[in-house]
A and B are shown apart, each in its own frame.
Chain A
């Protein structure tokens, strides 16, 4: 597994895996970076390079699991990154999928009932996804930030927070993931209505892309953020 390193040119990262474009955007980095390396661009923008590398490598290599010595950056950065990701889903991907589905229904001259059911199902999925995102934004992230402040800045934890653990916050992603798989199978295996091939492919491609992005998102939460916070909780409890 060849990992991206600080000396690599950022343009190479994009040509190697263009799916990383929205990931790079979440750091506020936009195109036109010439021959600048990852290290140069990160230092210009005050982005800890280790953090940037962990995020792009985690996305590029599904099996990548950074060792704790690489996790020298603040969990606040991860929360910030995850919030940008949520924003990208809410303001761009989910509306795009919904629009593509609506176009698909409009393209069907007859017997669009199947497609209308799939829209209804998509909306149910969407409401569960939004609920899950809201829960993270309203309860998980604030807790992570409080624990991080207690560790980094010595802001004392409340008694209530002290009794908690990030593990208890780790909500099941499974319901939302389950519906995503169902949606995919309903369309790929069981769609019977007349439909426009190209519009349907557009929708499915967006769906596959989103699925991949969500897996990456969950991996950053489960494999990076949660272990980091669990380690901080332990240190706080040991009075370190």
Chain B
């Protein structure tokens, strides 16, 4: 079962800031989304182990989605904001939280993560990262530069991705990446890439 961390917050500063801190603790997928429309569907949630950092005002809906799924929810609260009702039992982070609080949360999540059952045809984290960049229209050289790897390595990854998925064209890979929520369609000019 795949595991991902989702950061759901309307503020880009909060999303990116939190993602950057979490990325030092978590080497797998971090999905950043600004609203619930971009939230993975129930089918995906059932198949995945998810840790969701959610803006408090959106948390009720996340808890609805979390029913019957492996979703653990952590609230992102404003400073000194108090919670009530169902939300009271949830763990919280706020703008002033330091890395040790995050580490506790992420470590617990990793500890509870079921044994990976990833088949050999599942993409690795690195392959997903490269696929995401390919789908967004970056050239091999640009991908190599941004990930500090050689072009040769990028090409090898691309061959492996194509081998696993059976999809070769850039536009086909873009469709795959969107369907599997590796990229947000809003990030690309669909008419141009597909």
Contact = CB atoms under 8 A, between A and B. Distances in A.
A206 to B, nearest CB: 19
Main secondary structure of the interface of B (DSSP, over half): helix
Contacts of B167: 182, 185-186
Interface string B30-68: 000000000001011000000000000000000000000
Contact of A182 (B172, B178, B191): B172
A111 interface: yes
B175 A179 contact: no
A212 interface: no
A109 B7 CA distance: 28
A146 to B, nearest CB: 34
A182 B179 CA distance: 14
A117 interface: yes
Interface in A138-185: 175, 178-179, 181-183, 185
B171 interface: yes
B2 to A, nearest CB: 14
Nearest to B167: A182
Given A120-B194, A121-B194, A179 B41 contact: no
Contacts of B165: 185, 189-190
A192 B190 contact: no
Interface size class of A (residues with CB under 8 A): 20 to 34
A111 B41 contact: yes
A45 interface: no
Most B Cβ at <10 Å: residue of A117, A175, A179, A183: A117
Contacts of B176: 186, 190
A117 B172 contact: no
A118 B41 CA distance: 18
A198 to B, nearest CB: 21
Nearest to B172: A182
Contacts of B171: 121, 124, 179, 182
Contacts of A213: none
Interface string B126-159: 0000000000000000000000000000000000
B180 interface: yes
Most A Cβ at <10 Å: residue of B43, B169, B178, B191: B169
A182 B168 contact: yes
A226 B124 CA distance: 44
A189 B179 contact: no
A183 B171 CA distance: 10
B169 A178 contact: yes
B136 to A, nearest CB: 15
A189 B166 CA distance: 9
Nearest to A193: B179
B168 A181 contact: yes
Given A111-B41, A190-B180, A192-B43, A117 B175 contact: yes
Given A120-B194, A182-B172, A114 B179 contact: yes
B166 A118 contact: no
Contacts of A181: 166, 168
B166 A121 contact: no
Nearest to A174: B168
A3 to B, nearest CB: 34
11 contacts: A114-B179, A120-B190, A120-B191, A124-B194, A175-B169, A179-B169, A179-B171, A179-B172, A182-B169, A189-B165, A192-B44
Interface of A: 111, 113-114, 117-118, 120-121, 124, 175, 178-179, 181-183, 185-186, 189-192
The 8 nearest A-B residue pairs measured at CB: A182-B172, A185-B166, A120-B194, A182-B167, A117-B175, A178-B168, A114-B179, A121-B175
